[in-house]
Amino acid sequence: MTVRVPGKVNLQLSVGPLRDDGYHDLVNVFHAVSLFDEVSAVESETLTVRVEGDSAGLVPLDGDNLAIRAARALAARAGRPYGAELVIRKSIPVAGGMAGGSADAAAALVACDRLWGLGLPQRDLLDIAADLGSDVPFALLGGTAVGTGRGEMLTPLPVQGTFFWVFALADGGLSTPQVYGECDRLREAAGERACWPALSGQLAAALRDGDAPGLGKALVNDLQPAAIMLRRSLARTLQVGRDRGALGVLVSGSGPTCAFLAESAEHALDLSVALRSACRAVVNAYGPVPGAVVV
Ligand code: C5P
């Protein structure tokens, strides 16, 4: 059983006040892009995981592995000690702000649900996914959706057409809790109070109308200053894309991957050539694409 699952870029990541549970209330517009991991599950007595592909060595194989935790949570919901051998083939950057770990967890849920013949309804899988992490439910759904709460309460957004993206991958990852912590610290130092976030009308209209220039202008990520503070080189990478006429540029999620919106597939190629010397690697992708699907 093999499941293909996309990474995401956040088109709007508006960070509200810190909650008592350590999370922030968000308005988080997720957009699934054609950069895919694959997760295979085959029958086994025990639950194990193996990772192949780019940066595989950076993925934890112990109890911190989100795919294993997903399979375990699904077995617990089914009330049986099921086993599986999971193999993850990675293309989504590890700790890159594109929710690769969350994607693998979503894919493991879908793969094990099929392998074990459970046939749980999607709302049950979404429920388990939300317990695993704020970004996991979206990886099941895909497309473009706005997440509220800590990002797990999803409403799909209407989108016309396809948007072309270039992603600049950085060396090493950034820790999501650390980036949120830095965002709080910067706000406090500036005497800013986090306000209650709302979905950008300009962003929603641009998506609905397939208006790439409008979308480029509406892109926003409140975590970007924090990510740049922790990784100064990102400022230069973003500037290269701006200079080359990207319609919009931003750090993806908590970074350090940077995302560039292109006018067309041809413009994306031009951008990717220009960005090659400003980062570790460049990948082109389009969105939106569906969430985790059996292949
Ligand atoms: O939900 P997830 O485990 O992916 O979150 C990782 C970390 O990111 C959390 O422990 C928290 O520090 C931060 N976070 C946050 N507010 C959110 C989502 C994540 O502060 N809405």
Summarised one tens digit per residue, pLDDT across range 119-155 is: 999 999 999 999 999 999 999 999 999 999 999 999 9
Q: Closest residue (by CA) to atom 12 of ligand 1?
A: 177
Mean pLDDT of all residues in 62-80: 95
Which residue's entry shows tokens 């950069």?
A: 35
pLDDT band for position 193 (50/70/90)? confident
Q: Are residues 74 and 11 in the same domain?
A: yes
Question: How many separate domains does the chain show?
Answer: 2
Tokens of 1: 């059983």
Query: Quick one: 7 and 153 in the same domain?
Result: yes
User: Among the atoms of ligand 1, which is closest to the Cα of residue 150?
Assistant: 21
Whole-number Å distance between alpha carbons of 291 and 106: 9
What is the mean predicted confidence (pLDDT) over 190-215?
Answer: 96
Range 216-220 average pLDDT: 98
Residues 176 and 173: their CA atoms lie apart, in Å, by 9
- pLDDT tier for residue 64 given thresholds of 50, 70 and 90: confident
Percent of the chain with pLDDT strictly greater than 70 = 100
Query: Does position 225 have pLDDT exceeding 80, yes or no?
Result: yes
Q: 10 and 143: one domain?
A: yes
Contact 267, 286 (CB under 8 A): no
Q: Indicate whether 18 and 120 sit together in one domain.
A: yes
End-to-end CA gap in the chain? 8
Mean pLDDT calculated for residue range 67-73: 98
Q: Looking at 138, 157, 176, which one is the last position of a domain?
A: 157
Q: Same structural domain for residues 149 and 186?
A: no
State the pLDDT confidence band at 6, using cuts at 50, 70 and 90.
Answer: very high
Beta carbon of 26 within 6 Å of any ligand 1 atom: yes
Q: Could you tell me whether strands 24-42 and 2-18 are parallel, antiparallel, or unpaired per DSSP bridges?
A: antiparallel
Q: Identify the pLDDT of residue 84.
A: 97
Protein residue closest via CA to atom 13 of ligand 1: 177
Is the model's pTM score more than 0.75?
Answer: yes
pLDDT of amino acid 214: 98
Among 21, 69, 150, 182, name the best residue to mutate to test ligand 1's pocket (greatest count of ligand atoms within 8 A of Cβ): 150
Residue nearest atom 11 of ligand 1, based on CA coordinates: 177
Ligand 1 mean position to 249 CA, how many Å? 23
Ligand 1 lined by 286 (C-beta under 6 Å): no
> Residue 293: what pLDDT?
98
The whole-number pLDDT of residue 62 equals 85
Residue 96 binned pLDDT confidence (cut-offs 50, 70, 90): very high
Q: Is residue 180 within 6 Å of ligand 1 at its C-beta? A: yes
**CA-to-CA distance for 261 and 2, rounded, in angstroms?**
30
Residues 6+ apart with CB under 8 A from 76: none
Residue 172: which pLDDT band, with cuts at 50, 70 and 90?
confident
Select from 157, 173, 203 the last residue of a domain. Answer: 157
End residue of a domain, out of 157, 176, 191: 157
CA distances from 222 to 146, 194, 197, 217 (A): 15, 10, 10, 15
CATH number for the domain harbouring residue 263: 3.30.70.890
pLDDT of 54 over the 80 cut: no
Average pLDDT, the chain: 96
Query: Does 224 lie in the same domain as 124?
Result: no
Measure the CA–CA gap between 12 and 29, rounded to whole angstroms: 5
Which tokens hold the place of 292? 């985790």
Is the same domain home to 115 and 220? no
| Stronger pLDDT, 32 or 57, i.e. the higher one | 32
- Interstrand relation of 84-90 and 281-287 (parallel, antiparallel or unpaired): unpaired
Q: 59 in helix, strand or coil?
A: coil
Same domain, 204 and 276: yes
Nearest CA among 162, 175, 146, 139 for reference residue 290: 139
In a domain, 18, yes or no: yes
Shared domain for 180 and 120, answered yes or no, is no
13 plus 146 within the same structural domain: yes
pLDDT band at 63 (very low <50, low <70, confident <90, very high): confident
Token pair belonging to 125: 């899988």
| 89 or 62, which is more confident | 89
What residue numbers bound the domain in which 181 lies? 163-287
Asked if residues 2 and 115 have their Cβ atoms less than 8 Å apart, the reply is: no
Are the beta carbons of 156 and 145 closer than 8 angstroms?
yes
Catalytic residues: 8, 135
**Predicted pLDDT at 2:** 98
